[in-house]
């Protein structure tokens, strides 16, 4: 999957927020850039899994 992942620093809470702009609601965070990226990949995989299940059940 080639959906873009963006990571921004959370200056208020600390750590980093990661999200996929092309996947509405696909957002996560991590204390480091590396953990935010790992969490984003998991979130993206789960987002796509649910989207496919919803499509198959429609």
pLDDT of residue 1: 53
Q: 53: number of CA atoms within 13 Å, CB side?
A: 6
**What distance in Å separates the CA atoms of residue 10 and residue 38, rounded to the nearest whole number?**
17
pLDDT of residue 2: 73
pLDDT of residue 23: 96
* pLDDT tens-digit readout, 1-58: 578 999 999 999 999 999 999 999 999 999 999 999 999 999 999 999 999 998 888 7
* Residue 7, beta-bridge partner list: 18
């Amino acid at each position: 999957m080639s959906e873009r992942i963006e990571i921004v620093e959370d200056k208020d809470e600390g750590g980093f927020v990661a999200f996929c702009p092309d996947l509405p609601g696909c957002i996560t965070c991590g204390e480091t850039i590396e953990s935010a990226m790992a969490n984003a990949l998991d979130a993206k995989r789960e987002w796509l899994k649910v989207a496919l299940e919803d499509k198959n059940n429609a």
